[in-house]
Amino acid sequence: MSAIEKRIKELKKEVKTMFSTNDLAEKLTLVDDLLRLGIYYHFEDEIREAIRCINDHVDDDISDIRLVALRFRLLRQEGYAVSPDVFSKFKDSEGKFKQELSHDVEGLLQLYDASMLGTNDEPILEEAMDFARGHMERMLGVGEEPHTAQIRRALETPFHRGMRRLEARLYIPVYAKSKACNTILLELAKLDFNHLQSIHQAEIKTFSIWREELGLKNNFSFSRDRVAESYFWILGVWFEPQYTTGRLLMSKFGNLIALIDDIYDAYGTIEELQLFTNEIERWDFQDVDGLPEYMQIFLNAFAGFMIEIEEELKKKGTLHHKHYIIELFKPFIRANFQDAVWTNTGYKPTFEEYLNVSLMTSGYPLLTSVSLCLMLEDLSKDTLDWLLTVPKIVQASSVVLRLMDGLGSSEFEQQRKHINSSLQVCMRDEGIMEQEAVVKLKSMVEKAWKDINKEWLNPLPSRKHLNLLALNYTRMVEVIYKHGNSYTNDVGHMKENITLLLVHPIED
Q: What is the pLDDT of residue 348?
A: 93
Backbone CA torsion sign across 360, 449, 467, 458 = negative
Asked whether residue 466 carries a pLDDT value surpassing 60, the answer given is: yes
- 130, 261: one domain: no
Angle, helices 244-262 vs 364-375, to 10°: value is: 160
- 218, 172: one domain: no
Residues 6 or more apart in contact with residue 261 via CB below 8 angstroms: 336, 361, 363
Q: Is 239 helix (H, G, I), strand (E, B) or coil?
A: coil
Q: What is the pLDDT of residue 80?
A: 93
- 178, 204: one domain: no
Which of the listed residues 124, 158, 188 is the one where a domain comes to its end?
Answer: 188
pLDDT, tens digit, for every residue of 307-349?
Answer: 999 999 999 999 999 999 999 999 999 999 999 999 999 999 9
d(C-alpha 192, C-alpha 197), whole Å = 8
Q: Residue 139 in contact with residue 147, Cβ under 8 Å? A: yes
- 53, 131: one domain: yes
Q: What is the pLDDT of residue 161?
A: 97
- 281, 215: one domain: yes
d(C-alpha 280, C-alpha 334), whole Å = 10
Q: Is-cis flag, bond preceding 146, omega within 30?
A: yes
Asked whether residue 355 carries a pLDDT value surpassing 80, the answer given is: yes
pLDDT, tens digit, for every residue of 388-410?
Answer: 999 999 999 999 999 999 887 64
pLDDT, tens digit, for every residue of 64-86?
Answer: 999 999 999 999 999 999 999 99
pLDDT, tens digit, for every residue of 409-463?
Answer: 644 444 545 567 899 999 999 999 999 999 999 999 999 999 999 999 977 777 8
Backbone CA torsion sign across 122, 123, 128, 134 = positive
Which residue type sits at 291? L
Which of the listed residues 173, 188, 203 is the one where a domain comes to its end?
Answer: 188
- 431, 465: one domain: yes
d(C-alpha 72, C-alpha 54), whole Å = 10
Q: Give 287's pLDDT tier (boundaries 50, 70, 90).
A: confident
Establish how many alpha carbons lie within 13 A of residue 286's alpha carbon, considering only the half-sphere containing its beta carbon: 1
Pick the closest to residue 253 from 302, 316, 321, 323 (CA basis): 302
Could you tell me if residue 4 is inside a domain?
no
- 154, 197: one domain: no
- 15, 117: one domain: yes
- 182, 197: one domain: no
What's 31's DSSP letter? H
Could you tell me if residue 105 is inside a domain?
yes
d(C-alpha 34, C-alpha 328), whole Å = 36
CATH code at 357? 1.10.600.10
CATH code at 123? 1.50.10.130
User: How far is CA 116 from its chain centroid?
Assistant: 15
Could you tell me if residue 1 is inside a domain?
no
pLDDT, tens digit, for every residue of 158-181?
Answer: 999 999 999 999 999 999 999 999
Could you tell me if residue 372 is inside a domain?
yes
Q: What percent of the chain has pLDDT over 90?
A: 78
**CB 69: neighbour CB atoms within 10 A?**
26
Question: Distances from the Cα of 458 to the Cαs of 58, 82, 87, 451, 453, in angstroms?
Answer: 19, 10, 21, 13, 10
d(C-alpha 357, C-alpha 95), whole Å = 44
Could you tell me if residue 508 is inside a domain?
no
Q: Is 236 helix (H, G, I), strand (E, B) or coil?
A: coil
pLDDT, tens digit, for every residue of 258-273?
Answer: 899 989 987 889 999 9
**Mean per-residue pLDDT over the chain, rounded:** 91
Q: Is 97 helix (H, G, I), strand (E, B) or coil?
A: strand
- 497, 383: one domain: yes
Asked whether residue 6 carries a pLDDT value surpassing 70, the answer given is: yes
- 159, 209: one domain: no
Question: Distances from the Cα of 362 to the Cαs of 342, 406, 419, in angstroms?
Answer: 16, 11, 13
Which residue type sits at 63? S
Asked whether residue 483 carries a pLDDT value surpassing 80, the answer given is: no
Q: What is the pLDDT of residue 454?
A: 96
d(C-alpha 94, C-alpha 217), whole Å = 63
Pick the closest to residue 470 from 446, 492, 452, 489 (CA basis): 452
Could you tell me if residue 2 is inside a domain?
no
Question: Distances from the Cα of 196 to the Cαs of 22, 202, 203, in angstroms?
Answer: 32, 10, 11
- 239, 321: one domain: yes
Q: What is the pLDDT of residue 260?
A: 92
* pTM reported for the whole predicted model: 0.94
Per mean pLDDT, which of 48-62, 187-201, 450-464, 487-501 is the most reliable? Answer: 187-201
Domain that holds residue 425: 193-502
Could you tell me if residue 34 is inside a domain?
yes
Domain count of the chain?
2
Which residue type sits at 187? E
Pick the closest to residue 155 from 111, 112, 185, 217 (CA basis): 112
Q: Give 350's pLDDT tier (boundaries 50, 70, 90).
A: very high
pLDDT, tens digit, for every residue of 10-57?
Answer: 999 999 999 999 999 999 999 999 999 999 999 999 999 999 999 988
Q: What is the pLDDT of residue 418?
A: 54
Which residue type sits at 206? T
Could you tell me if residue 243 is inside a domain?
yes
Which of the listed residues 188, 216, 251 is the one where a domain comes to its end?
Answer: 188
Question: Distances from the Cα of 300 to the Cαs of 215, 255, 266, in angstroms?
Answer: 12, 15, 21
- What residues pair up with 482 in beta bridges, in sequence order? 484
